[in-house]
Amino acid sequence: MTGSSYLYPEFLTKDQLANLKLYKYAAIDRSLTTKYVLKHYWNWVIELFPMWMAPNLITLTGLMFMMFNVGVAMVYSPDMVDGPRWIYFSFAAGLWLYSTFDNVDGKQARRTGTSSPLGELFDHGCDALNCSFAAILQATAVGLGNSMTSVVLYGLAMLGFYLSTAEEYHTGILYLGYVNAPTEGVIISCLVFILSGIYGPGLWQNALGDYVRVPAALANVTLANALVGWLVLMFLFTHAPVCFYAMYKACRKNEKPFLQTMIIENMPIALYISALFAWVSSPYSYILSHHHYALFAITTGFVFGRMASKIILAHLTKSRFPRFTIQLVPLVAGAVIANLPRVFNISPIFTPASEFKYICAFFAFALIAYLRWASLVINSFCNYLGIHCLTIPKRTKTL
């Protein structure tokens, strides 16, 4: 779209749009797997894509593989505990294809001369949405079911992505370490999916002590819980400290008060995670007991998608760090409603039926609000930059 209308009003200010002209993509990938293996694979794969295929269309197609598999999981394994073996192989293929498409879209942009700040926003926006999709598939593959452990896995994905996005906002550089989620994390997840396909998800309910020598206190911990526990430790002792240290250096360089900045800028994710856990953990909520977790995760995934994408948008337009999104309101309200009986000793407000209807309404609101916001932002970018989002305009030949 290149023309504005009453359906697509100007969304960003003139100053924000003008800052798009200053855009310059910057990324550092320290992964040895990328350097010595995957880089060559991606260079081979990109030659398979036709020149007419827009980079953003490649990104979106990759996300569709994940969306398809989430649908498969909800149909064939609604309890997120056990399902036909073939679905786990489908999970592995879908995640690998998503990762492949996600890594070649930039190459396609350079190959076709269509690089733009919209590409980075679109790419990271899809990555943000994929956090919830991947968490659902991972929990299903190891048979965690509708449990608090699944919620912990989900929360880790959101916190990790949020901090990385906030770090890029401050430093202007997308940094991927020697071991990172988009590379080694994807490979490990694919291997987990394949093992579940071969042996079944029941494999991950075996005791850790049956496979390795560990202290007696850990011997009866399931492989699934050990895997999640390892991810928690990796987040606490590697990912989070690296992100905060990078933001600390950026704040010092720009003469910003670090502690105050971190408190303010992390309030949205703190509110998001707190409300999410408070709602699901309430004894007066039926999300887990009635197997509504996948729908809940997808719904709150749209909320997170908008939160993270707004940070990327602020980075590209050199705007103030975003501090709120209206989509948080139903999430906080749901958490309050579910916990009122605990606080005031009153009769439960939610029933299994009414809570499910509330989540369905929340899903519709979150989806519509996200799509409307995304379309307005994309249209503003396209109008100002004179580009198309999902197509590459044909170039007229000049004599």
Domain count, the chain: 1
Beta bridge partners of 296: none
- 160 Cα distance to chain centroid: 9
Structure tokens at 398: 């000049």
Residue 8 lies in a domain: no
Residues 228/153, Cβ–Cβ less than 8 Å? yes
Position 9 in a domain = no
Average pLDDT, the chain: 94
DSSP string for residues in 82-113 = ---HHHHHHHHHHHHHHHHHHHHHHHHHHHHT
What confidence tens digit (pLDDT) does each residue in 219-230 have?
999 999 999 999
Give the tokens for residue 157.
């994905």
Lowest-confidence pick of 13-17, 194-198, 247-251:
13-17
Q: Which of 40, 124, 170, 292 is catalytic?
A: 124
Distance of CA 1 to the CA centre of its chain: 27
Domain membership of residue 393 (yes or no) is no
pLDDT, tens only, 257-293: 999 999 999 999 999 999 999 999 999 999 999 999 9
- Is 124 a catalytic site residue? yes
Answer yes or no: is 7 within a domain.
no
Which residues contact residue 2 at a Cβ distance below 8 angstroms, ignoring those fewer than 6 apart? 382, 383, 386, 388
Per the domain annotation, does 396 fall within a domain? no
Q: Within a 10 A sphere around the Cβ of 226, how many other Cβ atoms?
A: 18
**Residues of the domain holding 290:** 14-385
Give CA–CA dist 268/305, Å, rounded. 13
pTM: predicted TM-score of the whole model, two decimal places: 0.94
Q: Is residue 265 part of a domain?
A: yes
Give the separation between CA 76 and CA 89, rounded to whole angstroms. Answer: 13
Determine how β-strand 174-176 pairs with β-strand 27-29: parallel
Residue percentage of the chain with pLDDT more than 70: 96
In this structure, what token pair is assigned to residue 74? 């909800």
pLDDT tens figures, 48-94 = 999 999 999 999 999 999 999 999 999 999 999 999 999 999 999 99
Q: pLDDT tens across 201-225, in order?
A: 999 999 999 999 999 999 999 999 9
Residue located via tokens 């010595």: 36
Tokens of residue 122, six digits: 């679109």
* pLDDT band (50, 70, 90) for residue 324: confident
Residue whose token pair is 């076709």: 112
Could you tell me which residues come within 8 angstroms of residue 99 by beta carbon, excluding any fewer than 6 positions away? 62, 182, 186
pLDDT for 82-123, tens place per residue? 999 999 999 999 999 999 999 999 999 999 999 999 999 999
